[in-house]
Chain A
């Protein structure tokens, strides 16, 4: 097995294309995830997130382009790649006749390493009954079990595909806290998370870099802190209607009588100066959340947020 140099990205996708018949599910996607990152992969339903993940896991072959994990092809080095990652899909399925205990032992049998202490701690924390058959578990409990089977091998990469959709808020919260706490325990530099979701606000604090995918292409890749600094929503109210005000470089969400609401991308200072020159009664600027950035990026120009 080739050794990974520190600069080798954990995930590298170059011009990935995957067609189903005549449909281009993924159509020229590029992205790169460095080790130790928590990377968000955001897109609407049908944008190509799951197809991309399936290409990474060698569940689908790319039509053209490449998807590499740890610098290796997931098709040619399937075993060595898969031994270093764990995957929690949207729909979790276990053998229904197995108990929770059987399922944990079964999953552990495929792994070179399995942290029993973490297993015990998480089973206790989630209050799972190990004698219960997996067919009797709720959706939330099945997801919790899947998360335990993903974390105990202490993989270098954790791939989460819409992990919290359909879960109640308490289970979601516990899920995310577990990823932060139990998974990132140990060597944070060697714990990479790749999470695909459209429930962006839940993961806001965890994400340090993200890519927005639309129609199979990456449309925006940014670090979360940079994104929140760059995208701002500005609200201004004037004494009288500000006739002929120059709003170039801003996207007007609403302009109604004395009030203006705008979104700016990277030129907040400039736009704020022009507004200040008109002596507004009120002027506020706040960062957009990652979810709002997602909506702004994918909304057709001129649409109202």
Chain B
């Protein structure tokens, strides 16, 4: 797992780590059961505060993306969400709203937007297939 941090995105650094682990899990770059790097070497490598990495891992754990095994470290969980489907849809809707607003300002019409969404699904599916994790 390689992380790319940017201090220019305006997004808190711990959230960048959270999002990248979630994207890696969704694309199959990291599979269920695979370990995440431990906090100290990762913090040293990225030259960020250990608290930042610890906070990201705590957030991933509360979102049930990873699990901590005492004495062994953190591992990617098999996909499962503690929320019911309607709650999950609502959570996703707010993310989509942001994309819809952006699309409006970038003058991307609805059919193009929907086609792009399909393309992105395909892209992730391809990545997962190539990662040998259909």
Answer whether A208 and B51 are a contact pair too, CB < 8 Å, given A177-B44, A181-B43.
Answer: yes
How far, in whole Å, are A225 and B7 apart by their CA atoms in the complex?
A: 9
Question: B49 contacts A205, CB within 8 Å?
Answer: yes
Question: A180 contacts B9, CB within 8 Å?
Answer: no
- Chain A residues near B52: list those with CB within 8 A: 205, 208
Question: B48 contacts A206, CB within 8 Å?
Answer: yes
- Stretch touching chain B among A79-87, A133-141, A146-154, A283-291: A283-291
How far, in whole Å, are A185 and B5 apart by their CA atoms in the complex?
A: 23
B15 to chain A, nearest CB (A): 9
Say whether chain A's binding surface is mostly helix, strand, loop, or mixed.
Answer: mixed
Question: A289 contacts B48, CB within 8 Å?
Answer: no
- Chain B residues near A225: list those with CB within 8 A: 12-14
How far, in whole Å, are A287 and B50 apart by their CA atoms in the complex?
A: 22
Question: B12 contacts A205, CB within 8 Å?
Answer: no
Point out the residue from B8, B51, B105 that lies within 8 Å of A287, measured CB to CB.
B8
Provide the A203-239 mask, 1 if CB < 8 A to any CB of B, else 0.
0111110000000000000000100110010000000
- The reply on A173 being an interface residue by CB < 8 A is yes
How far, in whole Å, are A188 and B48 apart by their CA atoms in the complex?
A: 14
- Chain B residues near A232: list those with CB within 8 A: 10
Question: B48 contacts A181, CB within 8 Å?
Answer: no
- The reply on A38 being an interface residue by CB < 8 A is yes
- The reply on A276 being an interface residue by CB < 8 A is yes
Question: A228 contacts B47, CB within 8 Å?
Answer: no
- The reply on A176 being an interface residue by CB < 8 A is yes
- The reply on B46 being an interface residue by CB < 8 A is yes
Question: B10 contacts A208, CB within 8 Å?
Answer: no
- The reply on B40 being an interface residue by CB < 8 A is yes
B20 to chain A, nearest CB (A): 15
- Chain B residues near A206: list those with CB within 8 A: 47-49
How far, in whole Å, are A119 and B41 apart by their CA atoms in the complex?
A: 19
Question: A286 contacts B9, CB within 8 Å?
Answer: yes
How far, in whole Å, are A28 and B9 apart by their CA atoms in the complex?
A: 35
Question: B49 contacts A229, CB within 8 Å?
Answer: no
Answer whether A205 and B46 are a contact pair too, CB < 8 Å, given A286-B8, A287-B8.
Answer: yes
Answer whether A286 and B10 are a contact pair too, CB < 8 Å, given A188-B50, A208-B51.
Answer: yes
How far, in whole Å, are A176 and B43 apart by their CA atoms in the complex?
A: 11
Answer whether A188 and B51 are a contact pair too, CB < 8 Å, given A205-B5, A232-B10.
Answer: yes
- Chain B residues near A99: list those with CB within 8 A: none
- Chain B residues near A276: list those with CB within 8 A: 105
B79 to chain A, nearest CB (A): 29
Question: B7 contacts A38, CB within 8 Å?
Answer: no
How far, in whole Å, are A204 and B13 apart by their CA atoms in the complex?
A: 11
A residues 169-200 touching B (CB-CB < 8 Å): 173, 176-177, 180-181, 184-185, 188
B43 to chain A, nearest CB (A): 5
- Measured CB to CB, the residues of A under 8 A from B are 36, 38, 173, 176-177, 180-181, 184-185, 188, 204-208, 225, 228-229, 232, 276, 283, 285-287, 289-290
